[in-house]
Structure 1
Amino acid sequence: MGVVRGVIFDESAILIEAADDDKNASFLQPGGESILRMIYLSKIRIGISFTVDLPEPKVSHLKRVANLYSIDLFILNDPACEVMPTWGDIDGSIVYLVSNKKKVLPKLSNYSWVVVFLNIGGESSCDLPNAILIEKLEELPMTVCHLNKRLIGLNVITVGYKMKPSRVEDFARRGAFPLCPTQNGLMFIPLVSDLPLSSQLKDVDIVLHKATDEILSIKDDNINFTESMQELQKYFEHNQGCCVLDPLSNIYPLLDRLEIQKILLGLVELNAESSYMIRGAHFLKVDNFDNLDFLTELRKANLSLPCIVKPKVACGVSDAHKMAIVFEADDLKNLDVPLPAIIQEYVDHSSTLYKFYMLGEKIFYAVKKSIPNANILMKSFDSSDPKPLEFDSLKSLPTADNIQNSAVSDHPTGTNESIDLKSVTDAANWLRRRLQLTIFGFDVVVQEGTHDHVIVDVNYLPSFKEVPDDVAIPAFWEAIRSKFDSRMLK
């Protein structure tokens, strides 16, 4: 028997009791569709077995779900229906999940399936002594991982991940979170709030988190995490031996744009050997927009207008990406940008942004369209009194395409300076050592005229979706595996 390549759900384990005449009802167990999707995206074959007397509304619902996830539907108590001929090509183990609400069919003894028994209500009545017992449907992914470890050896490691559902969906859809072992022996399971965290983590070898997804608020540098993230944080504190891809303390600087800017000041040590100067943007911290001589303070910080204003808080809260491009010093006093804020140098960069991704020791990059040069932005105003351009950087950016002025060209002026990959690679490795992070990203623009390479943003665990999946996902897995192996050597 090999790793698990097929899972068959008995109707008793996947369906709930609901009014059969409710056409809008979902008849799946809570979390059932999420489990089905996880298995489907892991490229594990799925079947659902049901009896011939199942009410038609439930059969219709199963057929709709089956179409979504390429599920085979079986009628196990029909003598004319055979299961194994249609699944005979599966090279691996098959799991059959059944609940204590149904007596296990004698026909199952004809198959070498691994029976997993869902003990609903805590009253066990399983007819098979070798069945694996679970109490909740959410335990199934971990059960599959346990089986795989038992079947193929201890060299396989389990990665428990915690991040917001939309990010999980994005990674899983690209094949990054499979339940079956990857080419380098990783299996991925979600850390869910429906199960005790300690019971989940005792079977997890390394934790992957996107803690910035779990922030409720940040005030006076105090971070208020969700309850589940606080629980995970406490677990880390009390279990120092727990292997975490990147400790929370290492990502804290990336939550604060001021701290990021201070860190980037250290890039000066690279410039003696670099072909071009690589640096962070010039910046100034602002606590109050009303009581400041901005022209004097801007000069002291080596800043000139226009400039871009960003909240000091870099991520995790709703207004962290509320920004403004300011052309006149007086307009700094009336901005709707959360305080404290960072006034940052606006770099003319030919509308070209380079997004770099650090996955372990491997570096990837993509080229994206960005905000136009200042002279292009200025042409968007009909008067000699340019107003601040306020925007949410997560939703849209001021680009040449969306400036409301027909006289403005879609093509920015400038030289579209090329990037010096060696200089940026040196900076990436410097940042990796300085931040002590395994997976992070940063944005670079090339300043027109000076050819300075300016890092304008750094972030933790980016999606790196601009890099082709067949390249990025194996590098992602390798970074996690290398982190685990190096931790074990210590």
Structure 2
Amino acid sequence: MDVHTHTTTFFGQGPRGGSKDNNTTAKVKQCSLDLSQPLEEQGPLDVIIHKLTDLILEADQNDTQSVLLVQRVQDYIEAHPETIVLDPLPAIRTLLDRCKSYQLIHRIEDCMQDERICSPPFMVLNTECGPDTLEKIEKHGLTFPFICKTRVAHGTNSHEMAIIFSEEDLKDVKPPCVIQSFINHNAVLYKVFVVGESYTLVERPSLKNFPAGPADRKAIFFNSHNVSKPESSSDLTSRDNVEGVSQPPSDDVIRELSRSLRQALGVSLFGIDVIINNLTGQHAVIDINAFPGYEGVPEFFNNLLTHITSVLQAHSPDSPPASGQPKSLASSHTPSATVPTAPTPDSPGCCSMLGKEASSSPWIVEGDGNLKGPRQRLGCNSAMSPNFQQHCVSTIATKASSQ
């Protein structure tokens, strides 16, 4: 395995708590960290942003090199409790396990006591189906048809699923897996992309309606990623038999679900797959994803930069009390979410982004510290896409000048 594919990107200001002068405030920059080298020599770090999902899974499968690299990150985090981690490794491990994430969402729904939410029952199958399997399924409240998914919620194989219509189809179930009752939802999936206190709702195609109860038909095998692509169109996603309730999720339900997940796990970057039961209009969470691809969210980098700044400001010695922070999520039903907070000159810090999708190009945010609401600019001290560079520069300038 090439360790250089597992890098860290770093937003920071040079030495933590760097000095200011009359012309410049603290600088926030981003650069890549090399996990094959000691992290102590690449710090200090104020914030680590990572996508180590592949590496964590490989480590959990006892890949020697992955174990060492993940342990290196963990050792740094434990040695520097002041460093903010987006997101905590234990939380990522929870989201990588569908059983654990489903248990969590059911506990959250029990606490919310909101009749508008009713996620489908599920159970884990660790062995081949036997004579007593159907009885166990019924005891867990599952009904035909149901969806069969891998327990691991990340990677190419995690998208390979099956719809099981009858007891005869149980022979096609390949353990270990998670099975989940199928809920008719008029072939519409709502993907909720969360970045801190902001979320974006994106509508995608999904599986068509099927008759409730056992059916004399063969199991359907499909790739959920292909089914839910924006341009997806097939017999599986047909809307010819749409009936009952067809409505988008409620803002306050999504806001509360997102807030509860952030509080329960301490996560900031995640996705929630939501469907609307076409008979009851209830919201059902069918999956939670750690650091999703944010496809269809053009404001992602805008929102991420703002969230980083907000996190750094909240942990700054000069920051106001937590009660002054926004308590509700900003939302958007278009592929663009509005984040309520804006960069300030008093939010210095170093931020590292770990993972294959991390950029290797440093950024620097600069502003005049003598002004309460400075116009900040995002400078680049190495090559990056001109379009992305222009987007980031205009984003920071617009947010800062609006204060």
TM-score with structure 1 length normalisation?
0.55
Q: Which has the larger radius of gyration?
A: 1
Distance change >3 Å, CA 410–CA 357, structure 1 → 2: closer
Deviation sequence 1:324-367 (CA, Å, 0-9, x none): 111112212233x4x32111011100011111122111222111
Identify the residue that residue 305 of structure 1 maps to in structure 2: 144
Which fold has the larger relative contact order, with Cα–Cα distance below 8 Å and residues 6 or more apart in sequence? 2
Q: How does 1:416-431 map to 2 (within 5 A)?
A: 417-418=246-247, 419-431=249-261
Identity %: 25
- Please list every run of 5 or more consecutive structure 1 residues that lacks an aligned counterpart in the other structure: 1-30, 35-137, 158-186, 379-383
Letter in 2 for 1:191: L
Note if contact 1:401-1:410 (Cα within 8 Å) is conserved in structure 2. Answer: no
Matches within 5 A, 1:234-253: 234-253=75-94
Contact 2:124 2:178 in 1 (8 A): yes
Corresponding residue for residue 176 of structure 1: none
1:487 to 292, 315, 331: 315
Q: Paired residue for 2:221?
A: 390
Deviation at 1:465, TM superposition (A): 2.7
> In the alignment, which of 424, 427, 432 is matched to residue 262 of structure 2?
432
Cα deviation 1:297-349 (Å, max 9, x = unaligned): 22211111010011112125x533322111112212233x4x32111011100
1:190 aligns to 2:32 (yes or no): yes
Question: How is 1:267-282 mapped onto 2 (pairs within 5 angstroms)?
Answer: 267-269=108-110, 272=113, 274=114, 276-282=115-121
Structure 1 residues 230 and 411: alpha-carbon distance in aligned structure 2, compared to 1, 3 A threshold? farther
Corresponding residue number in structure 2 for 1:348: 184
Aligned to 2:345: none
CA 1:371/1:436 → structure 2, altered by over 3 Å: closer, same or farther?
A: same
Given the superposition, is the C-alpha separation of residues 394 and 214 from structure 1 closer, same or farther in structure 2, using an over 3 Å criterion?
farther
Match of 2:124 among 285, 289, 292: 285
Q: RMSD over aligned Cα, in angstroms?
A: 3.7
Tell me by how many angstroms 1:154 deviates.
Answer: 5.2
Alpha carbons of structure 1 residues 253 and 221: separation in structure 2 relative to 1, 3 Å: farther
2:105 to 225, 248, 264: 264
The residue identity in structure 2 corresponding to 1:354 is Y
Aligned match of 2:296: 466
Change (3 A) 1:331 1:385: same
Pick one of 290, 299, 306 that aligns with 1:478.
306
Residue by residue, what CA displacement relative to the aligned partner does 1:171-198 show, whole Å, maximum 9, x if unpaired?
xxxxxxxxxxxxxxxx221223465432
Mapping 1:38-437, distance limit 5 Å: 146=14, 153=24, 155-157=26-28, 187-193=29-35, 195-202=37-44, 204-217=45-58, 225=66, 227-269=68-110, 272=113, 274=114, 276-316=115-155, 318-335=156-173, 337=174, 339-375=175-211, 385-396=216-227, 401-403=233-235, 411-415=240-244, 417-418=246-247, 419-437=249-267
In structure 2, how many angstroms separate the alpha carbons of the residues matched to 1:255 and 1:303?
A: 23
* Equivalent AA in structure 2 for residue 334 of structure 1: D
Distance, in Å, in 1 between the alignment partners of 2:278 and 2:64 is 38
Whole-angstrom distance in 1 between the partners of 2:221 and 2:87 = 34
Tell me the amino acid that sits aligned with residue 391 of structure 1.
Answer: F
> CA 1:222/1:488 → structure 2, altered by over 3 Å: closer, same or farther?
farther
Once residues 96 and 12 of structure 2 are traced to their aligned partners in structure 1, the CA distance between those partners, rounded to angstroms, is 36
Aligned-partner Cα distance in 2 for 1:216–1:431:
22
Q: 1:478 to 1:292 in 2, by over 3 A?
A: farther
Q: 1:240 to 1:409 in 2, by over 3 A?
A: closer
> Which residue type is aligned with residue 390 of structure 1?
F
Aligned equivalents of 2:127, 2:290: Cα separation in 1: 28
Give the Å deviation of 1:440.
Answer: 1.4
Secondary structure of the corresponding residue to residue 217 of structure 1: helix
Residues 264-310 of structure 1: per-residue CA shift (max 9 Å, x gap) = 112334554x4x42133210111112335233222211111010011
**Matched residue type, 2:217:** P
Residues 284, 343 of structure 1: 8 Å contact kept: yes
3-state SS in 2 of match to 1:225:
helix
Q: What runs of 5+ residues in structure 2 fail to find an aligned partner?
A: 320-403
The one-letter amino acid paired with 2:76 is Y
Distance 1:223 1:303 in 2: 39
Q: Secondary structure at the match of 2:193?
A: strand
Are the structure 2 counterparts of residues 308 and 270 from structure 1 closer, same or farther at C-alpha, using a change threshold of 3 Å?
Answer: same
2:275 is the counterpart of 1:450:
no
Q: Tell me if structure 2 keeps the 8 A contact 1:400–1:412.
A: no
The 3 A distance-change label for structure 1 pair 242 and 422 is closer
Query: 1:281 touches 1:454 (CA, 8 Å); kept in 2?
Result: yes
In the superposition, relative to structure 1, how do residues 356 and 448 fare at CA in structure 2: closer, same or farther (>3 Å)? same
